[in-house]
């Protein structure tokens, strides 16, 4: 793989971080509805407002934090249960399956999140394909390789691991030496706004 694709523009969506999600609550209508309802129902009319506010905030936190914790714990457990059930079914019918593929948003959803599932599939002798290197950078491709991928969906940002003298970095070199195919799809790159302007990437300079 030889090329000199540099400085292309990437614009990918990502989930809110903790602080961003906290600030979002100031414009969240549901949060305002709860706050107004609680204040109206339980706010004393003849007491120190500051003390009353702290009192309500304390008990709201006392109730809210366990609920949020249980919600998060249930969600994590449910995902693990679904993953295990799916993997067991895949392994059960492995003789009828050509390969195991995972796709979807790449940014902030690295393959290592599902490393146990990939390991089980790999140990069962099932081929693994992982979408990487489109919505996220070279490190996502390396993670895909580390989790058993023998084929990479997209992978166009591998070019970031090749310098101006066409010297390959470790990830690009591994792909070349081990004949890892990249499923390059220019149309997808445009639709996901991975590459904003097609002509900014000289595909004719790439040999894949």
Positions annotated as catalytic residues are 134
Q: Classify 140 as helix, strand or coil.
A: helix
CA distance 94 to 104: 23
Q: Where are the alpha helices (DSSP H) in the chain?
A: 18-24, 29-42, 49-92, 115-123, 138-146, 170-177, 186-191
Report yes or no: 17 and 3 within 8 Å, Cβ to Cβ.
Answer: no
Tokens encoding 15: 């989930």
Which residue is listed with tokens 């050509």? 98
Distance of CA 8 to the CA centre of its chain: 21
Tokens encoding 7: 């400085």
Instruction: Read off the DSSP letter of residue 186.
Output: H
């Amino acid at each position: 793989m030889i090329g000199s694709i540099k400085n292309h523009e990437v614009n990918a969506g990502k989930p809110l971080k903790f602080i961003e999600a906290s600030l979002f609550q100031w414009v969240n209508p549901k949060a305002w509805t709860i706050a107004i309802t609680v204040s109206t129902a339980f706010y004393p009319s003849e007491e120190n407002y500051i003390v009353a506010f702290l009192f309500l905030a304390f008990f709201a936190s006392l109730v809210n934090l366990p609920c949020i914790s249980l919600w998060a714990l249930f969600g994590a457990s449910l995902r693990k249960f679904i993953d295990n059930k799916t993997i067991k079914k895949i392994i059960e019918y492995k003789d009828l399956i050509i390969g195991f593929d995972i796709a979807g948003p790449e940014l902030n959803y690295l393959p290592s999140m599902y490393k146990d599932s990939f390991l089980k599939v790999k140990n069962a002798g099932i081929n693994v394909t992982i979408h990487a290197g489109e919505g996220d950078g070279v490190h996502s491709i390396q993670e895909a390789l580390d989790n058993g991928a023998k084929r990479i969906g997209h992978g166009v940002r591998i070019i970031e691991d090749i310098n101006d003298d066409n010297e390959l970095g470790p990830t690009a070199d591994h792909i070349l030496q081990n004949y890892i195919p990249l499923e390059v799809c220019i149309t997808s790159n445009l639709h996901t706004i991975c590459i904003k302007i097609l002509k900014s990437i000289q595909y004719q300079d790439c040999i894949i």
